[in-house]
A = this chain, B = another copy of it.
C-alpha cells in the first residue's frame, strides 16, 4: 500500500464514509466498513473524526445551489424546483440517510436544518400574500411528500413514472401553493 499523508488519509476516510452512509444508512454502516473501504483501520477513523456520529454529520451536508433557480420566472418555479430535486442524486442519499437515522437526536436536528434551508427557505422567498409563513411550510411538506413516496416508500408506480410526468403534475401542484390565492370577493 502506498504511504499517504494524514490529510490524504482523512479525505479517503471521508469519501468512504460519504459513500457508505448514503448507500446503507447510518446504522448499517460500521466504522470497520468505512476503514476497510478507505484501506485503513478503525483506529484512524476515530482518530480523525472523533466518533462515528460526528463523522456521519460531517458527511451529511447539502449545499443547494440556488443560482440556477434565481432566473426562473415565478410562474415556473414549481416544476423547476421539483425537477431540481429529482435530478440531484446527492439529495436522495442525504435525505434517505437522515430520515432513517432520525431516531438519533443529533441526526434529527440536521434533518430539521436541511429541511429548513433547502425546502422551506427557497419556498418562503417566493411566497407573498396572507399566511405566507404557514403556506411555505405546507409547501415544504408537499415537497417532502414526494421525496418520501419516491425514496422512502419507493412507491413502485411512482418510481416507474417518467420524471417529466412527475415534474409536470407535482410541479403544478406546488405552483398553486406558491401563487397567492386570489381573493374570492
Contacts and interface: CB of A to CB of B under 8 A. Distances in A.
Nearest to A143: B145
Given A28-B103, A142-B142, 4 more contacts: A99-B99, A137-B149, A138-B169, A141-B145
A20 interface: no
A73 B177 CA distance: 25
Interface of A: 24-25, 27-28, 99-103, 108, 111-112, 115, 120, 131, 133-135, 137-138, 140-146, 148-150, 152-155, 157-158, 161, 165-166, 169-170, 173, 176-177
A141 B134 contact: no
Contacts of A135: 169
Contact of A103 (B100, B137, B142): B100
Given A99-B152, A141-B158, A169 B134 contact: yes
Contact of A140 (B100, B141, B149): B149
* Count of chain copies: 2
A108, A141, A149, A161 — which one has the most chain B CB atoms within 10 A of its CB? Answer: A141
A115 B100 CA distance: 17
Contacts of A111: 152-153
Given A103-B100, A134-B161, A134-B165, A146 B153 contact: no
A60 to B, nearest CB: 14
Contacts of A133: 157
Contact of A173 (B120, B137, B177): B177
